[in-house]
Each structure stands twice: as C-alpha cells, then as structure tokens.
Chains A and B, each alone.
Chain A
C-alpha cells in the first residue's frame, strides 16, 4: 500500500531513515565499573571515570561488546572483527570529559536487514546501515533551583547501541512497524529492554520527500522522539511541512528539528550552518577493538530463537494460522506461555484459548502475561478436562471465569460446582423426551421439513441439563427420536 502525499502539484513520496539509540542491558557501563541500572538517587551510579576526573581512563566492558554482537547477529548483519572508538568532541555540562566516545569511522556492526509486516499482510525489508557502540551522556536538570542547573551523571557512560537504518522507509506505518519489530528483536535478544518511556530506546528521524523516480531531496533530522506513536506523527507532519515548502517554490533547509506532540508540529533546533564540528579522531586511550571469529560463533550459537523463526516454527509445528502465530510470538513471554500450554495437547485449541479468552481477560484486568492470574499449567489442566470429555466447551468458559476469580484449578471447580459433563444416555434420553413432550407444535413443524429447528431442540435439551450434556450424545439422541 503506497503512502502518497497528494500535493497541489501531484503526488509526493516519503523517504525516511531512522537512527535508534538503544540502551544496552549490562551490569556496568561501557567504559567503567559503575552500575548501569536505571533510576537511583542522582549521582549514585558514577565512577571517577564517568565524571571525567584527571588521569581516569576508559576500559571496554566485554559484556557490552557481546550485546552489540548479539544484536548485530539478530539483525542478520555483518560483524566487523575489527572496529574502533573515536572521540566526538563538544562542550556540554552533562558531558563530563568534553567528548563522547563513539564509533564513527569503523563501527562494530555493518549492513543488516529487518523484515517488517504491514497491516495488509505484505512484508518489506528495511536495510540496516550500521550499528555502533557509544556512551550515553548525563542529564541536566533545570527545574530544581531558580538560578542553578543540576547534573545527574547516573546515565553518563552507559552503553548505547545506535542502530542506523537505510532510508528505506516509505510511510509512517512502515516506521511504526520497523520500530516495533526492532524492539521485539532487541527484547528477544535481551540486549535492550526497549522501554521508550524510560528513555532506554529513542529515535532520531530523518525525513525527506520527493516526486516519484527522483533522487533524494534535502532531509531534516527530528531529534530524540520517545514513542512509536510520536515517531509516526512526527513523520506525517514533517512530510507535509516539506511538501508545502517545495510546492510554494521554496527550499527545505537541512537542519535539526524537534517534535512537539502537544502542538503536533516540528520546530527548528539548529541549522546546518551552526551544526557542531565534532572534531572526531581515534580515541588514543583505547586500542582498536579486535574480536575473534570464534567468539562471534560462540555468541551466535547461544542466541535465542528470534521472532521470525519462532513464528515459522509455530505455523509448521503446531499447525496454527500465520496471524495467530504472529500474535503469540510478539512477546517472548507469550510464546513461552503458549508453548507450555500446547505441549502434549491440541495446539490449535491451546492457541484459541490463549489468544481468545486469556488475552481478553488480561486486557480486561490490565495485566500482562507475566502476572497472568491463570498459569500455563492451570490453563493446560483445564484443556485436559475438555479433551478427556469431563467438561464440554461451554462449561469450560464458566470454569475459566471461576479460575480467574478464585485461582482454583479447573478440576477443583468442576468438582465443587458439579460441572462434570453428563454422558449417561438414559439421562439424555429422558431430557430429550421431556423437551419433545413440551413442544409438540415445534416437533410437527420440524417433521414438516423445517430442519433449522434442530438447533432449537439441542439448545432446549442442553438448557434442561444445565449445560452439562455431552453435545455429541445429545445430537445423536435427538436425531434418533426425531
């Protein structure tokens, strides 16, 4: 589905590339031993290295490098066995050393690809240009004192992965799908928690527009957008702004802009003319980063199953539809939950219960799969009762609701409420006789050729048996008598 901006002069195409900053999950920072955990009182997770004290030197954290390699592998990207750290020099109060250590000329991860799926079921591949490691900066707080600013260096030096896409994105929807997919992959890998509210994942959005078949026109960068929804909105309003400028005969300036979600507009932050000269050069405190191919292989063999592969496997191994498989693998915890319900049981029945009743219940109660009130074992236990005929599907819904409320197991509920399915043909025949006796006119109509009334009789018999009749036996008995 092509996304087209209809301007006065005709259709315009959107061109978007994303730079995602993903905070690495690690115990300590990229170049110091200080804790990398989120939160904490200001300036409690700060070493002398992070504060840029005289004589302090960076030492690379092996775990952060491993996380970058894992992520690169998850993005099907080339891993560069030799990479290098450069200094990006600029002055800012929350940048203690006066430079950020980043990979500029030689990143640890090269080209890769992410496959995205759109609402209409079509798929597209978005190219990854590179992934590099860099340090996060600290945080300035301007709202604590009327005259002074305060600085929190807890985040200074925490490892970030900057994941740069090719300008392959052609619509806000694709941008959203790309970010969701990227986040899913990072979470599966355990390399970033993808939590945009806490700032552990944020995006710089490069937007330009062009007429079909044209080369790229001038792009603007929208800095630090912190939700997928805002990214989509920012792209939309920025593209419209640019189309308007071009159509008015103007020229889009290359500049850095900010997105203001409250006003639904982007605003200029700085132009190309006053862009920083970062004076990049190789950090002389660090040797080139050389990693062994065997180590990369080791990390690769220990990678978890990623969402695309898991979805394929769910389709073939469990015979469930592609859509359901996609829903189940969206989060690793859901996929794990489903697999423990499905193991040794009817996988399609399991999929229906997980994506249907369970998801509805979680939505209703505002819970996640991790704190589901019904465990995978409990749900599996209930399915076992359905499969062995102890209860029928209808009763199962009642049992499920009771499980939600009481936390009891299905077996306990069935016993307590006497919900065991009736398979005694004598009882069924008696109920059938009673229903027929009570509805002689309907019996006549049915026998006169009104076949649709069969459902009515089934309903009446089930009602008379308080829902506990075995549906197959009830059908059979009715057919025989009618």
Chain B
C-alpha cells in the first residue's frame, strides 16, 4: 500500500524502481479523491500539477543523483505562497489570491524534487487550535473515539489540514507553521510527528505572517525520521528574511538513531498543571521511563515563568497580527468590498474578509498597542517573554532536552470547548512557552488515550540543536512503537 509508506522507505522504493513517482502520486491523489470530501483537509487540490511533477520526477529518478525528495507527494499548508497556485490563508480575504512567487520553504522542497498534491486547510490566518475558524470549513480528525464512529473530532490547529492529511495517508508529509503550537498540537491530536525548529532556522519569506516574532515553518510526517528528512530540505539561511540565521544545517536524519546514553532530560515542575487528565500524566511518566531506559539521566527542573506564558502569548501574538494584517485593506490585492469613501472601503472589506476569530485578535492587538495601554500590556509582555526565554537558558545549563506532554488533552469533538475562546486558548498551554523562547520543540506520538485517541509527548531543545530533539524524539518513537492508524484513512475508506 503506497499510502502507508514512510518517506524514508518510499525513497528506497523509488530508487529501486519498485514503483514510479507517478504511481506514488496517483495513489495519494486517489486517497484525496476518496477522503477529502469528508476530511476537508485540502482547500486546493493540484492534481494536474502533481502528476506533471511526478512525471518529471520519474525522468530524474531514471538518472543518477536524484535529489532527496524526488517524487515524494507532500501537502502544503495554505499559508505558504505558491507560485501560480491559489494561496488563501483559509480566509475569504484571500479567496482568489494567486501569488506570482514561491515561498522560500516550498521552493527548497521543490528544488529537492518534492511533488505538491495540494494546499492544506488551516485555521484562518493560522489563528486557532482546532481548525474550526477556516473560511473553507472545519477539518475532521481521521481518528475516532472508541465506539463513537459518528462523533467528529477536531484535528487541532492551526495546521489541522496538514495533520489530518498526513495521518489519513493523503500525503506522505506536509508543511506546517507553528506560532504557539500550530505544528505540535495537531500532530499530537492526529498521531503523527511534527517539529517546530528554532526560530530563524527556516525562512519566513513568502509565508503569510501571523505573528512575525513567533512564526516558524516546520515539517509534519508519520515518523521522526521523515520529519528529519523534510526539515533538512526546508531549513537554511535566506538573505530575504532578516531574522533567518546563518548557521550550518546539520544532517538531521543521522540524529535519529543516535544513542542517548548520558543525556540529561529535564522534567519541568510547572508543566504539572492542576486538573490535567490522569492519562496525560501517565503518558508523560511512560515517556520519562522510556528515556531513563535509553540511558538518560532524569533531572527535575523549574521554568518559573511558565504560568505567564499563555497570557503573554495572547498579548504579543495579537499585537503583531493586528499590524501584519493591516495590509489586507482591499486596495492592492485580495478581496475588495467597495465603499463610499476610503474608510468605508476598508471597513467593509475587513468586516467581510475576516472571520470572527481573526477580528477578535486584531481588536485585542490594537488594544494592547494603543497609547496608554502599551506599557501595561505589550511592554510588560515583552519583559515577561525575556524571563521565559531566560528560564529555558537556565534549564539548558543543566539538561540537554526537556520532556513534557504536548497538549493537556486528546483531540476533542467539534462543538466542545468552542463557545469560550479562553478555554480554546488553553490547548496551547504546553506549546506556547517554547515558542516564546524560540527554541526547537517536537511532538511525537506516545500512546493512546482510554478512548483510543493518540497522545503526544513534547521534546524541547536548545536553540539550533534540533539534532538532540530528533534523537530524543526518535528514541521515544522506538520505545512507543506507535503503529496505530486512524479509523479514516486511505485504502480502508
């Protein structure tokens, strides 16, 4: 079954000509055909382009030295601008926007031969934790609670379309973006792996901005090794992004089998939050035991400012978003709703173009940056952010990685938690601190909940030390031998 393969194994199969790139792409397009109507994981499907790319890939594979991703079908989060392919950010505002340029991250993947099967769904402008704010409809998580085949679960967000597509076998891997947990939390909810690399590791050029000081692209795939392969291609310095960092990109894949003997793993006390479900606690304890068995030394550490992480995030991110989204004004591109005056045009365009969650965050951001409130909110949030970053620096003086749960619960059902935005924001409580600090963090599937849903563990590492994160993630993956697959998936539907 071609849609069950990992990227690593597909690379071998393509090289040996066990199957062609066209066959591999066709299998995934067939899965999309069969399942996307239900999952709504893709906003735009690019079947023709994908088949063309696959044919070119086969030609390249016939020769020597095909690049690493030649012929590998991927989904691209619809926040990455793709040359000549509609890029919507899941917003009415950009419903018909076709960029004449290719984001650096997707250009890197294309350079390495990847085949893009389509643009995946997300929360509008990446604002959300359940993929329910998309202007193109919610995404369904392919997993089902035991005995509840009719309950529709959310895939997490904002990269919910990517997570669902990868979990259900509609793509071998996908790109995501993570601002406060948007790769890790949906990866956990959908039983796949995903890594948010260090801020500055992947170029933000051509990726539609949500909160510039936090946004970072990263891969989502069914295994840690596949994430390593994808990140290898996506990462790298880019002169067009001033916050991109010019440091060498190591061989991530080589880190997968690395021994963990003598590695120090920190367990932050502050992540034991009140009211955390016992099964999340148990999964965490299991993860600790696995790493101890792999030769790690377990160290209790403290990240004292963790409790301010979420509050700080919900000041900084909306502040930046209120400014970043000002360009969607109906004047130059995207939706325009005419008005009697310029102000009326702005108001009508933005009222109609943006959904409620985006409007809420723009309003919050505008408020916290306003004269008279700046010092009390934004400036103070920046100071706390500095303290959060210092917490991590202090911790990484003593340990090599931190281990925590990825999310405080397994995937929940559509409709649950949804009437209270604050409840919704709490989904990000474990992922946000690493985002605030800019350090790399990965979610790895670690087991199933009592209701049969995947649970993820999060490994957090030092800046630019994705290798150690991958090594630890890979060890957990081996120990968990997580072979469960969702109820809805290619070739079983």
A interface residues with partner B (beta carbon < 8 Å): 48, 51-60, 87, 89, 91-93, 96-99, 149, 151, 277, 279-281, 284-287
Contact = CB atoms under 8 A, between A and B. Distances in A.
Contacts of B101: 48, 53, 55
- Select the residue from B327, B342, B369 with max chain A CB neighbours within 10 A: B327
B346 A91 contact: yes
Given A53-B99, A59-B239, A96-B327, 7 more contacts: A54-B99, A55-B103, A58-B242, A279-B371, A280-B369, A281-B369, A281-B378
A280 B378 CA distance: 11
Nearest to B350: A91
B369 A279 contact: yes
B117 to A, nearest CB: 21
Contact of A89 (B323, B332, B342): B323
B68 to A, nearest CB: 25
B314 interface: no
B213 interface: yes
- Select the residue from B87, B206, B343, B366 with max chain A CB neighbours within 10 A: B206
Contacts of A55: 80-81, 99, 101, 103, 204-209
A60 B242 contact: yes
B329 interface: yes
Contact of B213 (A58, A60, A96, A284): A284
A401 B323 CA distance: 65
A42 to B, nearest CB: 14
Contacts of A284: 211-213, 243, 320
A93 B242 contact: no
- Select the residue from B89, B205, B213, B329 with max chain A CB neighbours within 10 A: B329
A57 B331 contact: no
A279 B366 contact: yes
B370 A87 contact: no
Contacts of B331: 93, 96, 151
Given A287-B242, A287-B243, A97 B371 contact: no
B453 interface: no
Interface string B174-213: 0000000000000000000000000000001111110111
A59 B323 contact: no
B94 interface: yes
B310 to A, nearest CB: 19
Grouping DSSP codes into helix (H, G, I), strand (E, B) and loop, the B interface class, with mixed when no group exceeds half, is loop
A54 B97 contact: yes
Contacts of B81: 54-55
- Select the residue from B204, B243, B323 with max chain A CB neighbours within 10 A: B323
Contacts of B87: 54
A291 B127 CA distance: 37
Nearest to A48: B101
Contacts of A57: 204-205, 240-242
B483 interface: no
Contact of A87 (B89, B209, B243, B323): B323
B110 to A, nearest CB: 16
A98 B242 contact: no
B342 A98 contact: no
A346 B2 CA distance: 93
Contacts of B240: 57, 59
B19 interface: no
Contacts of A52: 327, 332
B212 A285 contact: yes
A99 B328 CA distance: 12
A53 B242 contact: no
A267 B169 CA distance: 68
A93 B342 contact: yes
Contacts of B329: 91, 93, 98
Contact of B327 (A98, A151, A287): A98
A52 B319 CA distance: 18
A386 to B, nearest CB: 61
B37 to A, nearest CB: 28
Contacts of B325: 98
Contacts of A280: 369, 374
Nearest to A89: B323
Contact of B323 (A48, A58, A60, A281): A281
Nearest to B89: A54
A279 B242 contact: no
A364 to B, nearest CB: 51
Interface in B91-119: 94, 97, 99-101, 103
Contacts of B94: 54
Contacts of B97: 54
Contacts of B207: 55
Given A53-B333, A57-B205, A281-B374, A97 B242 contact: no
B492 interface: no
B1 interface: no
B212 A89 contact: no
B278 interface: no
A6 B127 CA distance: 63
Contacts of A56: 205-206
B274 interface: no
Contacts of B209: 54-55, 285
Contacts of A60: 242
A295 to B, nearest CB: 18
Give 9 closest A-B pairs by Cβ, nearest first.
A98-B326, A284-B213, A284-B212, A279-B369, A55-B206, A52-B327, A54-B208, A55-B81, A97-B327
Contacts of A58: 242
Nearest to A33: B240
Contacts of B100: 48
Interface in B197-252: 204-209, 211-213, 239-243
A163 B319 CA distance: 29
A61 B240 CA distance: 12
Contacts of B369: 89, 279-281
Nearest to B334: A54
Nearest to B379: A281
Interface in B141-199: none
Nearest to B333: A53
A285 B103 CA distance: 16
- Select the residue from B81, B209, B331, B369 with max chain A CB neighbours within 10 A: B331
A89 B378 CA distance: 15
Contacts of A286: 242-243
B324 to A, nearest CB: 9
B346 A51 contact: no
Contacts of A91: 326, 329, 343, 346
23 contacts: A52-B327, A53-B99, A53-B327, A53-B333, A54-B89, A55-B80, A55-B101, A55-B204, A55-B205, A55-B207, A56-B205, A56-B206, A57-B240, A60-B242, A89-B369, A93-B329, A93-B331, A96-B332, A97-B326, A98-B327, A98-B329, A279-B366, A286-B242
Interface in B303-345: 319-320, 322-323, 325-327, 329, 331-333, 342-343
Nearest to A51: B332
Nearest to B366: A279
Nearest to B326: A98
Contacts of B208: 54-55
Contacts of A99: 323, 326
B251 to A, nearest CB: 28
Nearest to B81: A55
A84 B101 CA distance: 29
A91 B325 CA distance: 11
Contacts of A151: 331
Interface in B8-22: none
Nearest to B103: A55
A360 B211 CA distance: 63
- Select the residue from B103, B213, B332 with max chain A CB neighbours within 10 A: B332
A151 B345 CA distance: 15
Nearest to B80: A55
Nearest to B97: A54
A285 B323 contact: no
B242 A59 contact: yes
Contacts of B241: 57, 59
